[in-house]
Amino acid sequence: MPDDGYRYELVRGELTEKMPPPGDGHGDVSARFAVALGRYCEDNDYGEIRDNAGFQLETDPDTVRAPDVAWIAPGRIEGFSSGYRPLVPDLAVEIKSPSDTPRMVVDRARMWLDFGSQEVWYGDPETTTITRYRQGQPPEILTEGDELNGGELLPGFTTPVWRLFRRRR
What residues contact 12, with CB distance under 8 A and at least 6 apart?
58, 61, 62, 63
Indicate the fold that domain 23-164 takes in CATH: tt1808, chain A (3.90.1570)
**Containing H/E element for 130?**
strand 129-134
**Per-residue model confidence (pLDDT) at position 20:** 54
- The SS3 of residue 126 is coil
The ranges of the chain with pLDDT < 50 are none
- Give first-to-last CA distance, the chain, whole Å: 42
Q: Give the containing element (helix H, strand E) for 66.
A: none
**d(Cα 82, Cα 89) in Å, to the nearest integer?**
17
pLDDT at 17: 59
Amino acid 82: pLDDT? 86
CA distance 74 to 138: 27
pLDDT value, residue 98:
85
Residue 116's contacts (CB-CB under 8 Å, 6 or more residues apart) are: 88
pLDDT, position 90: 98
Q: How many CA atoms lie within 13 A of 9 on its CB side?
A: 20
Listed by start position, the domains of the chain span: 23-164
121's enclosing H/E stretch is strand 119-124
Calpha distance 144→162 (Å, rounded): 4
CA distances from 25 to 40, 67, 77, 132, 137 (A): 23, 17, 30, 21, 30
Q: Which of 89, 121, 91, 88 is CA-nearest to residue 105?
A: 121
